[in-house]
Structure 1
């Protein structure tokens, strides 16, 4: 909400070796409960960015408005995460078997990234521990070089200015 980030590009390889590229990305709704900390009880619907099978790996490019920089995050997922996505959730939704088939990504200042599998009930989402997670910026960028929604520079909204006033960077517990 107060520390916005925008994802600009995603490339994903699923476990069946199908490659996906997403340039039109699902919208991100602000969540007042996540201000200043990770919040695990988020529920979102995916509209555009769907893969048929659980991911082996993802690379995505994102801008941290607060940090005024572009980040490139590389994630490799474990077999345990893919196995969890293949197993029924143990409940039904509208008479159909429910699955943990939606990943949520949290992006925070300093290029910090956290991942969850979305639960299907009120409660904490399942934390995903990736096999490997690396975030690059600056001269280290490879895939994300020149991919930004803010090529003309970054500007803070009044909400962000009000939130960071008299606080110490990185503005919360990540």
Structure 2
């Protein structure tokens, strides 16, 4: 039954290889990045949920992603390594990111005390383990810049975090 479903899926929608031929430079790039050892580009459709192996033409990074996510017209996925390695510039650096991110950015700039790199020498995705100093408790620690700037569960001062989790000590005589 599984084999039947696979063959049905292949016949639905346009073949990935055909889609690539019809989509100019983008199609040519995706056809060249398709490096899956188990399937040929003619064996999957443009809208397939098959997780294929891809290899970036720019940075040579290999990763797995669904064919559907690579070919969609609205926000297609690309090389995850290149996304995080946007070149450092006057408009793409940690300082600019902080200036554009309100109170959170101001807080991070105040806490950034790294002696080795200036905020203009890093991007928000940098894996440089920078030094930080908490504005509340003055605790200093090392953390990667990308872990402080990520939108989902960014890291902060461990000392303050642990203090907040400790239950209040109650007076047993009351």
Name the TM-score class by shorter chain: under 0.3
Work out which structure has the larger RCO, using CA pairs closer than 8 Å and 6 or more positions apart in sequence.
1
TM-score, normalised to structure 1, is 0.21
TM-score, normalised to structure 2, is 0.21
More strand, by proportion: 1
